[in-house]
Amino acid sequence: MTDQRYPELTDDAIERASNKLLHEFFATCGGEITLPVPVERIAEKFLGYRIELTDQGLFADPAFLGGVDFQTETIFVNASVENHDGRYAFTIAHELGHHVLHRMQFLSYQPEGEEGIMCRSSTKRPMIEYQADRFAAALLMPSEALKTSARKLSRKFRAKHGTNALAARLITEGGFSNVSREAMRYRLRELKISANPLMLPRVLLIPSLLLYRLFRYLGRR
């Protein structure tokens, strides 16, 4: 579903927007990106939002996970996700995605005096919701930091355990404790990070072996 008000954005543009927010925030506290990314602090201390946990009104429906009101600078999080670290942080990061990517357009089309919030629904997926999700993943799992952690863990990790196990270890040992397993697996696929980056795809295995033998044979002559 496309909405004429909002521009289409490439994944790269969304990654850049998320990195820009991360760098601006971390510049205020030493410059180094630290994990887990403190999305609550970015929202409250850096951008001036108030986070409100609620199960009222729209949020009586647990399908509405969160929302953002730009005028009152409030991020709503459905109370049902409060105790679920991954979903809680992802919802805040998602609303920050709307703040960075959509706030200006939303406000310029908002009829004067009328209240309005952008909502995160687990069922409706228009383009801007995809964009905010992509932003949230990039914010919580910055690609460079994730690749570095995955590389470190892969050294002491047997590839046969697979991407699922790598996702679990990145959460428990790699610093991404505020990310759900599902979001991590999705992000690893998105960035094409596998449990063993040196492992050859099966289709290349036989030609590689033949080439290896050919070179050995030629080397002996």
Q: Which residues bind Zn ion (CB under 5 A)?
A: 120, 129, 132
Sign for the CA dihedral angle at 26, 86, 105, 49 comes to: negative
Which residue lies nearer to Zn ion by CB, 91 or 149? Answer: 91
Residue number of the CB atom closest to Zn ion? 120
Shortest separation between residue 118's beta carbon and Zn ion, angstroms: 5
What's the min distance (Å) between Cβ of 99 and Zn ion? 11
**Pair type for strands 74-78 and 50-54:** parallel
Q: How far is the CB of 12 from Zn ion (least distance, A)?
A: 21
15 vs 129, beta carbon nearer Zn ion: 129
User: Residue 115 Cβ, how far from Zn ion at the closest point, in Å?
Assistant: 17
Distance separating alpha carbons of residues 41 and 133, to the nearest angstrom: 19
3 state SS of 193: coil
Nearer to Zn ion, 1 or 198 (CB): 1
Name the H helices within 28-140.
39-41, 85-101, 103-108, 127-140
Phi-psi category of residue 138: left, alpha or beta, with phi > 0 → left and psi -120 to 50 → alpha: alpha
With respect to Zn ion, which residue has the nearer C-beta, 167 or 183? 183
Which tokens is 32 given? 């180094």
The token pair at 91 is 């919802």
What lies within 8 Å, CB to CB, of 50 at 6+ separation is: 44, 72, 73, 74, 75
CA proximity to 35, closest of 157, 155, 173: 173
Q: Which is nearer to Zn ion, 40 or 173 (CB)?
A: 40
Taking the complex as a whole, how short is the minimal distance between the CB of residue 131 and Zn ion, in angstroms? 9
Closest approach, Cβ 137 to Zn ion, in A, equals: 13
Q: Which one, 117 or 188, has the nearer CB to Zn ion?
A: 117
Q: Which residues contact 36 (CB under 8 A, 6 or more apart)?
A: 89, 140, 175, 176, 177, 178, 179
